[in-house]
Copies of this chain bind each other. A is one copy, B any other.
Amino acid sequence: MKQTLMEPFSLTLDFAAGRIEPATTRIERRLSDMLGMFADAAAEAAAMTDGDPLIYEVLQYDVPNETGQLVVCTTVLHPGRIGDEYYMTKGHYHEKLDTAEVYLGLRGHGKLVMQADHGFSGLDMHSGTIAYVPPYWAHRTVNTGSDLFVFFAVYPADAGHNYGAIEHGGFGQRVVDRDGRPMIVPSNKGVEA
């Protein structure tokens, strides 16, 4: 099938702020958008009464949803914890499972946790880390530092997002603070549940 005939374009990326200019989509996730995803329900409730914190933002430039097109976006994950669990993204599988994603760390420190039918993975990310999410792997990022954690991502425009599997089934790993250091611990949720 012939694809949309497009003209080339350019955007500007602010590496430190993680801003794409212009962006066509801006997603803002507050704690209220992901209640129940953190393990400590009491800590979630306390954080809600303290003002429903902003957990992360995504800025994206949309192109036609066609095989062969690529979407670029940036994610700005704020620093913080709910109980002992670091702020994180909701995490998702691609709807089209056989599609990969490339991350490039721009600022701060984080972890990229992934799960697939056959197991788990956790990669450290910081400025200059290129991380590869292979086809079939659900992926979630976690800010394990005290600064913003910012990264750039590229994924196939026809990949789609399946958030439901994680919202309902959970993720098999959690990233928690243990004596001031981030540690990946098994969850009672996710593919092993």
Contacts and interface: CB of A to CB of B under 8 A. Distances in A.
Interface stretch (A28-36, A67-75, A142-150, A176-184): A67-75
B67 A114 contact: no
A171 interface: no
Contacts of A104: 13, 104, 152
A68 to B, nearest CB: 4
A63 B101 CA distance: 12
Interface residues of A, number: 54
Identical subunits present: 2
Interface in A51-83: 61, 63, 66-70, 72
A9 B13 CA distance: 25
Given A3-B98, A70-B156, A134 B13 contact: no
Interface stretch (A37-45, A84-92, A118-126, A162-170): A118-126
Central interface residue in A9, A14, A20, A112, by most chain B CB within 10 Å: A9
Contact of A99 (B12, B68, B99, B125): B68
Contact of A8 (B72, B123, B155): B123
Contact of A68 (B13, B20, B96, B129): B96
Contacts of A13: 104, 128-130
A130 B12 contact: yes
A118 to B, nearest CB: 7
Contacts of A5: 116, 118, 134, 136
Given A15-B128, A135-B3, A135-B68, A154 B102 contact: yes
Contacts of A93: none
